[in-house]
A and B are shown apart, each in its own frame.
Chain A
Amino acid sequence: MLLLDYLRPSLWIASHLLQATLLVLLVRRGFFRQFPIFVIYTASEVLQFVVIFIMLHSPVPVSDAQYFYTYAFFSAASASLRFGIIYEVFTHLFRDYPALSRLGRTLFRATAILLLVLAVFLARLAPAQGVGRLMVMVDVLNRSVSILQCGLLAFLFLFSGYFALSWRSYTFGIALGLGVYASLELTTSAIRSQIEPVGRNLLDGIMMATYLGCVLIWMSYLLAPERETQSPSKGLPTHDLETWNQELQRLLQK
């Protein structure tokens, strides 16, 4: 436990320092035009870190309630912005495929509604256990948000996989980082809603390490140059030539 007590703040500080660096790089490289919600999310996470760090180390005493409401406000903002990022990824992915845009939009909305119903159903069926009504509510909310975010990202990956849509590196990197975070958040929030506060430190540590990993994923994808698509200079298939020739003749006869 001693190691964990030392690791948790280190992970928390490291991930947010890295995120502050990411924010600077995003702004300097003009990513705000392409991914405004992602940049705002990064900025809000850095701001949250600064505010909470000041509250924890302030010479002026901060009450538990003040700390809780500040934390709850930033958590709600983060969750909302993460939904915004998923939508931003969705928009970027379908921008190049107008033929699929309508179908994608309809299915995306339908998936969101289904997941919302599932999350509400699960919240009623398996309420969280723990001390304090407020904390229980926060746990259930966290779990519901994770179900929604994880499900929406899974939909995006599966849908694009079926139609073989090509992801731009930046969009893929953002979705991957968010997906890793959402899937582990789903796992830990499901466990957290069922255990006593004692085991929560370990789960918090896992989530902080995950967050650090996600920031590293974002950095590596956003700083690497965009992968170029190779033009089919001489690569079209040479077999099936007979069918092709027939088709060509048909075309030329038209």
Chain B
Amino acid sequence: MTITLVLVLVGLLALAGLLVLARVRAGSTTNMESLTEQLCSVDVDAFRNLVDPGEEQYLRANLPESEFRKIQRERILAAIEYVSCAARNGSILMRVGDAARHSPDPSMAEAGEKLINTAIRLRLYSLRAMATLYLGLILPGVRISPAGIAESYEQMTRLVVLLGCFQHAPQGVAAAL
């Protein structure tokens, strides 16, 4: 009987989820301006510093154990904030890239395609990084160095710049590049 109740609940929850999804989709905007307004700023250098193993080692060596743990916890929480922000930007820029790849301008379409691939890579790295960071939060002894996030984010930023250039002065920038 318990299993039946669980299955009934799962079925009803899935139905509710689908209806919410359909509603959200119907009300969702395809307007790029409102989409990009949701982007948040990410300081890549500060993030690099937070997850730098050398920095962590330095703090460990120079701070009392209890203080190190407290500070390390705060650093990890800040890094989590950065990663979720970068991941959120990734999903927004994915939609920007999706719109750009349907552009009649081949350069813009190509930049859009690349932006999508980089955003996907960023989302994948974010998933892995989140797991590592939360593990570091639970087990303070574990070394955290989420690879790929900063590089992907920088690459994504470059692609957005490129896209912006194509959009504002296609010929000039394309020639310059």
Contacts and interface: CB of A to CB of B under 8 A. Distances in A.
A-B interaction: yes
Interface of A: 96-97, 99-100, 103, 122, 125-126, 143, 146-147, 150, 153-154, 157, 162-167, 172, 176, 179-180, 182-188, 190-191, 193-194, 227-237, 239-240, 243-244, 247-248, 250-252
B31 interface: yes
Given A164-B91, A183-B14, A244-B164, A126 B3 contact: yes
Given A154-B14, A163-B91, A236 B8 contact: no
Contacts of A172: 25
Contacts, number: 146
Contacts of A243: 41, 157
Most buried by A among B7, B12, B31, B162: B7
Contacts of A182: 14
Please name the 7 residue pairs, one residue from A and one from B, whose CB atoms are nearest each other, closest first.
A235-B32, A187-B11, A164-B91, A190-B7, A186-B11, A183-B14, A237-B36
Task: Please report whether the interface of chain A is mostly helix, strand, loop or mixed according to DSSP.
Answer: helix
A251 B161 contact: yes
B106 to A, nearest CB: 13
Given A99-B120, A164-B91, A187 B177 contact: no
Interface residues of B, number: 56
Interface of B: 1, 3-4, 7-8, 10-12, 14-15, 17-19, 21-22, 25, 30-33, 35-37, 39, 41, 90-92, 94-96, 98-100, 102-103, 116-117, 119-121, 123-124, 127, 154, 157-158, 160-165, 167, 176-177
Nearest to A254: B177
B21 A232 contact: no
